[in-house]
Every structure is written in structure tokens, then in C-alpha cells.
Amino acid sequence: MTNWILGEKFSETYPHLSGVKALWETKWKFPCSRSVYPFHHGKYEDFEPIFQRLIEDNVNDAYTDRYTEYFLPTARRLVDEAMSAQGSDRKKAIELYERAACVFRISRFPSVDGDETGFKREVFNEQCQVYLRGASLWDTPLKEVVIPHTAAAGQDRKEIPLFVRVPNGASAAAKCPVVLLLTGLDGHRPDNTGRSDEFLSRGWASVIAEIPGTADCPAERRDPKSPDRLWTSVLDWIKSQPFFDASHVVVWGLSAGGYYAIRVAHTHHDQLIGAIGQGAGSHHFLGREWLSRVDYHEYPFTLSHAYVKKYGYRDWEELLDKAQNDFSLVNSGLLNGPSCRLLLVNGTWDGLMPIEDSMLLMNYGKPKEGRFYEKMLHMGYPPANECVYPWMESVMTSK
């Protein structure tokens, strides 16, 4: 057995996994009361009654439609209130739309599969519509842009939906740097208002894209090279936009998206000025030993089911047999090639993506940069952003 830096916690079953009551009381109640991940822009008073009803009715499986249904009356009431406020109080309407979008987000947890056509997909589509309605009211709006997947091959679909936000005043004469934000397993395009606000405050555009096997991403999930084609199409589109400074593009991959940030830092190194892999996997995260305990750590619900859907395997056992060989960045040979500047950020007690996967990259190719937060969980939250934004600023201001 590997001597994981996670130590004895590797073999533990975390207390929130005993049911929705434990999840709420030991893991989600505190961040919800402070509107932090995954409750950004949500309100405690929206969620507390919902979770009390879930607890009373003993609804513990978030993969079911029944779980999702508990959230929808609250989400739709907030939408109605937002629409009523829109004509007289724009600020209030924006807040209500954001709250509604957050409730929709928690309702469609853990994730929305890229080919899914069921109830959670419908709810995700509703979330996107509500989010975009609110985002259209911002002083600097965010919009959905659907671009052609010009490099599509195999089973890739032919269009790429993006969320794009461009600073006011950006033009061919005053081009703006771009952050290409790669979302995660459960956080999709409508879940990144805070980050797009941060980019905007620095004069950067946001281009937000989902990763293979999730939400609206068109890339073939079972083809390890499909993300390379995906980012070719997206980066070519960025380069074609007259108001984007294509010489200053940074990729930031979140959680499962961190894997793709590391990959694109190598495959498209000459088109990027930097990349960040936060909470990223690279090799061990898809190994049988690590995956044997991944359902028992800090993810809110069972993770294995979402993984099978994301990677497109027949079942969990096939994923255990094949995933590391298929998707390991070490096995791919890419890590020995050139890369752009690459920052790796995570907590040393990450139970979803082992810190060893970030450390491993230091043994390959061009020197990497890293900031690992002692005894912090997945993504290195809450302190991780204290290093990410200053690093991005330094990269964006370089020539």
C-alpha cells in the first residue's frame, strides 16, 4: 500500500457521508451560512428549510430525481420574485436570480453528465437560463456564445457553448487579456460569478468552458485526446476575436478541470502565457488503490457514480481496470515535453485528488511552480486564492 501523504485519513470514512443530516450539519451548514463554496451567492434562509425537509423524509441519495425535486419550489419562487423586481429594482433582481441559480445548482448535484437527457439535465438547463437572465442585468454582462468546434473529430459534437464576459471598453485598439476557466465535475459554467468578477476587476475577459464528460461539453469523453481538439477550437476562436489579447491567455482548471489545465499547458504551450491546475489529478487519482477509498473522503456524496458517467466506462470495475492507463498524463508522455508556466495548487489532505499528483509533475519536463496548503482539503480552500490571483497578475503583466 502506498504511504499517502493523506496518512491515516486515507482509510477513514468522513462523518458527513452517513446521510443528508450529517452532510448538512457537519459539512454544508457552516459554508451555507457564509455563502461560500458551493453556496456562492446563496442564502442560508433558502437552504435550511429544504435540508430540514430532506432530513425529515430521509432522502439521502442525491443522484435521485426525488432529491432534486425538494429544491425546485424555492428556486422557482426566487425566479418569480426576481422577475417581479426586475422593472423597479435591478440590484434586487440580480441578487434573486443569483440565489435561484445557486439553489438550482445544489439541486442538480453531484453532476450533470454530458449526454444526460433526464431530470437533472432539465434542471441544469433551467439553471443556465435563470443565471443568464440575471447576468444580462450586470453592468458588465456575461453572455453565452456558441462557437463551432472546428477541430472536431470522432464522436465530438460540432458546437462549443461558452460563457463569455468582456470588460467594458475592450476593443481592437485596447485588447484585454483572457482567462480560460475550465470547470470541474460538479461546478459548471453558471457557477463562477465570483471568479468572473475577480477577472473583470483586473481588466481580464472570462471564457468559461466545461470539461469532457460534463454538462454541455461536446468533447468525446472516452477519447483521451478529445480535450486537445476542444482547446484547439477554443483557443483559435479566442485568437480570432479582435478585442482579445491572444498573447496573454491564462488557463485555470478547477478540480477535475485541473487535469485539463495541466494537459493544455503542454499540448498548447505556445498559445498560453500560463496555466493553473488547482486540485488537479495527473496519474494516481485514477489508480485502483486511490479510487478504492475515494467514495469515503470529502466529496459530499458518492463520487464513483459520477466518475463512471464522466469518463464513459461501462461500470466502476471497468473504470478501475482502464482509467489510469487511458488518461494518465504520465503514461501519455506529454509531461516530458515543453509547457508554459504552470502553477499547481492544492491542499495536502485532498482526499479526491492526491497531493502526490501535483508533486509528481515536478519530476518531468520544464520546472513547475507550486503552493501546497498544509492539512487543507481539496483545492486548498479556503486560503488558496491568496496565491492564485497574485500569480495570475504577475503572469498577465509579463511581456
Contact 97, 82 (CB under 8 A): yes
**Side-chain-side CA neighbours of residue 65 (13 Å):** 7
Helix (H, G, I), strand (E, B) or coil at 49: helix
Cell numbers at residue 26, please? 457537519
**Rg of the chain taking only CA atoms, in angstroms:** 20
Q: Which helix (H) or strand (E) holds 181?
A: strand 176-182
Q: Cis ω on the peptide bond leading into residue 110 (within 30° of 0)? A: yes
Interstrand relation of 142-148 and 159-165 (parallel, antiparallel or unpaired): antiparallel
* CB 347, CB 379: distance < 8 Å: yes
H-assigned helices in the chain:
20-23, 29-33, 44-56, 65-69, 72-85, 90-107, 119-135, 193-201, 226-240, 256-267, 288-291, 304-311, 316-327, 329-332, 355-360, 385-396
d(CA 163, CA 167): 14
Q: How many residues does the chain have?
A: 399
Residues belonging to the active site: 255, 350, 378
